[in-house]
Amino acid sequence: MALREIVKFGEDILRKKCREVTAFDEKLATLLDDMAETLRNADGVGLAAPQVGILRRAVVVDVRDGKGTIELVNPVIIEQEGVQVGNEGCLSAPGEWCEVERPMRVTVKAFDRTGKEFTVKGEGLLARALCHETDHLEGVLFTDRVKQVIPEGRR
């Protein structure tokens, strides 16, 4: 495993739409391993492939709920319910926090690294992270969804 460099806001790659993963091979496994390590190292809750310079539909999420890192390949949000408004940040925008509205609960369909389909249900922070990371795959950033910028002293 290896740490990968995290692309920062302003780089074009974060605005591009990612391609589907079609090969569930060693290269994908290495990418997911590296993303998980990079996420842990950066102390974040989610990381999408374009954030490490790869335009493929792969994300890793770890909301520290004891369930470990969830890997999602070609994720699609198939259900969403409720509303939550809360502070959100991104490893590609260190120190920037904004109030963002997200669904309270989501169901996501995805594939694991071997190509097996699964669904995951998330509530609260996990729902927020799943939405934030799938947005990255469309070139959408959390700042696009901001309702209110949090002033420096209130973060």
Verify binding: residue 6, Co ion, rule CB under 5 A. Answer: no
Is residue 5 annotated as part of the catalytic site, yes or no? no
Nearer to Co ion, 25 or 85 (CB): 85
**Shortest gap between Cβ of 70 and Co ion (angstroms)?**
15
- The residue of the chain with the least Cβ separation from Co ion equals 90
Question: Rounded to an integer, what distance in angstroms lies between the CA atom of residue 53 and that of residue 87?
Answer: 25
Verify binding: residue 59, Co ion, rule CB under 5 A. Answer: no
Which residues have C-beta within 8 Å of that of residue 121, sequence separation ≥ 6? 105, 106, 107, 108
The bridge status of strand 46-48 relative to strand 84-88 is: unpaired
Question: Rounded to an integer, what distance in angstroms lies between the CA atom of residue 74 and that of residue 57?
Answer: 5
Query: Helix H segments across 16-155?
Result: 26-42, 125-136
Give me the 65-104 binding string for Co ion, x by CB under 5 A, dash otherwise: -------------------------x--------------
Nearer to Co ion, 52 or 110 (CB): 52
Interface residues toward Co ion, by CB under 5 A: 90
